[in-house]
Amino acid sequence: MGPHAGPAPGPRQSGAARADGAHSGGVFFGRQRELKALVADIERAGLDTIAGRKAPRARVLLIAGRPGSGRSALAQQLALRLGDRYPDGILHVRLSEPDGRPVPMDQAARGLLDRLRIASPPGAGDDELTEMVREALAVRRVLLLVDDATDAEQVDLLLPQNPDCLVVAVSQGPLTGIPDVRPCTLGGMDAKAAIELLTTFTGSVRITVDPQAAEAIAEECGGQPAAL
């Protein structure tokens, strides 16, 4: 354990330490099959366990899909469902700016340290700050939601060296180079869920009056939540 580990883990934190935007009061449509598969993946033995070894790092669940596919909403819903398993809380970090540029790693690491209530040294570089994050998570049981990751290296730098943690990563493609990643690739929503989502914008009367038009819109949008 290095000198930056910070205070021992306390009770579950609230507010900033929990997944931003993952509010139970919101409405979540579809993706129940994917949600069930992701939860089941946590229970499934990893490669290290199968080989008779203790896993050295947190398990990584990957939700892959194009922007607008509902990938972040699914990750937040998964975090809500699993939150009680991680008594030290849910941490959320976004690794891409709205325009797609990667968030500087020192900025991402400082944000996580702030949520963990650990002071980060002024002038510290990426390596020192990400090491501080990993050291802090090594003595905590948290769910780390890594949203909009651009590549595997970003995730790897923050990956807890602690099998009691879980990482839920959101990315457009695979995280090649991180072993034993459990992927869930999102396509369009099924027709029923797509129409339910459309109804929240149009109202039920318009859908009832012209259900064929609703089905056509859902098909034209490819079941993509952002398009709907």
CATH code linked to domain 29-185: 3.40.50.300
Q: Of the candidates 198, 228, 226, which has an alpha carbon nearest to the alpha carbon of residue 211?
A: 198
181-194: per-residue pLDDT in tens?
A: 989 988 766 767 77
Measure the CA–CA gap between 126 and 106, rounded to whole angstroms. Answer: 5
Measure the CA–CA gap between 141 and 9, rounded to whole angstroms. Answer: 9
User: Residue 149: what residue type?
Assistant: A
Q: Where are the domains of the chain?
A: 29-185, 191-220
Distance, first Cα to last Cα, the chain: 49
- By residue count, the chain amounts to 228
60-106: per-residue pLDDT in tens?
A: 999 999 888 889 999 999 999 999 999 999 999 999 998 889 999 99
pLDDT of residue 54: 63
pLDDT of residue 25: 41
- State residue 164 phi and psi, 5-degree precision: -80, -10
